[in-house]
Structure 1
Amino acid sequence: MKERKAIYAGSFDPLTNGHLDVLKAALAVADMIYVGIGVQASKTPVFSYEDRVRLIEESTRDELGADAARVKVVSFDGLVIDAARNLGVSIIIRGLRDGTDLDYEMQMAGMNETMAPELQTVFLPASPSVRTITATLVRQIASMGGEVTSFVPAVVADALKKKFNS
């Protein structure tokens, strides 16, 4: 049987418990998951690409145990469909928090299907306990000295503290 490979793309700046929740669910859908960190020259992230890779790898080792071996972090610039094709992936994983996400993600899935009909978008709902978490809000809270340990893995919380206390 052919290995099912998927890409779960985003900026992951920073990785949140919501991202991890969707990633855990994705492991039931695919044998191998590429966490694709989108790199955009126009955006200045809080964490460098290298830091995000390290944080994702450490978090998945801590949270997923042996399943962490089924997760590989990669970078891409440009369209996720091009990254998927280059990686030999047939599934695009997208997490959903609410109806607003669904509206946006349905539009994106439709466009992707038109451009790359061989790729299948799979929507995975976030668990209720993590639905309110966004990386944007986590960054804002951390930058103002707020406590983010409920929203991100421990290694990410530590990195955010160091980043914003320096």
Structure 2
Amino acid sequence: MCRAVYPGSFDPITNGHLDIIRRGCTLFDHITVGVLNNDQKSPLFTVAERIEMIRAVVAPLAETTRTTIEVESFDGLLVDFAKRKQANCIVRGLRAVSDYEYELQMAQMNRHMQPDIETVFLMSADTYSFVSSRLVKEIFFLGRSVKQFVPPIVEARLKAKASQATA
């Protein structure tokens, strides 16, 4: 069985992230979407909210593929989480050459710590090569629509957050 971990902060999950998960389903029998719990960042959504949104957007995908998809949080080292999940691969999406340099360094460090876990890079689809969670939040809070960048449930949750902030 080929098991993978797809880690990230997913604050929020974008269509680009979903595309990587969808394409990963053609490669792996089991994918764990690992939502990083990082106290050093100031996320818009709580870990529980991010997990809930991801589960909602991957549910239709999980029903139409042979791949088992699970979503859970983690903290600490990614390779330790991957080992606990019995994963033999870490999936990382690359949008641009600038992503590659950082991701290569991380992959090499992970390989040094856990040689039996491979890192697989999936190139972002052209449609999503410029989309990031940070930009989605910035565009949204500056008053523009993000419906082409995120699943509908995420757009609704962004609107709810904005309403809470103004209340």
TM range (shorter): over 0.9
Structure 2: runs of 5+ lacking an equivalent: none
**Cα RMSD, aligned residues only:** 1.4
> Structure 1 CA distance, aligned partners of 2:154 and 2:88?
30
Contact 2:90 2:118 in 1 (8 A): yes
Contact 1:17 1:152 in 2 (8 A): yes
Q: CA deviation at 1:64?
A: 5.3
Question: How high is the sequence identity, in percent, across the aligned residues?
Answer: 37
1:147 pairs, out of 142, 145, 153, with 145
> Structure 1 CA distance, aligned partners of 2:62 and 2:143?
29
Contact 2:28 2:67 in 1 (8 A): no
Tell me the residue number matched to 1:161.
Answer: 159
Tell me the residue number matched to 2:25.
Answer: 27
Tell me the residue number matched to 1:126.
Answer: 124
- The aligned runs of 1:6-155 (5 Å cut-off) are 6-63=4-61, 65-67=63-65, 70-155=68-153
The runs of at least 4 consecutive aligned structure 1 residues that moved more than 6 Å come to: none
- Secondary structure of the corresponding residue to residue 143 of structure 2: coil
What TM-score, normalized by structure 1, do the two folds share?
A: 0.94
1:94 is aligned with what amino acid? R
- Secondary structure of the corresponding residue to residue 121 of structure 2: strand
Q: In 2 relative to 1, CA 68–39 (structure 1 residues): closer, same or farther, beyond 3 Å?
A: farther
Contact 1:7 1:36 in 2 (8 A): yes
2:33 is aligned with what amino acid? V
Q: CA deviation at 1:130?
A: 0.8
Q: CA deviation at 1:45?
A: 1.1
Please give the per-residue CA displacement for 1:96-139, whole angstroms capped at 9, x wherever unaligned: 11111111111111111111101000000111011110000011
Q: CA deviation at 1:28?
A: 1.5
Contact 2:57 2:153 in 1 (8 A): yes
1:160 is aligned with what amino acid? L
Q: In 2 relative to 1, CA 145–127 (structure 1 residues): closer, same or farther, beyond 3 Å?
A: same
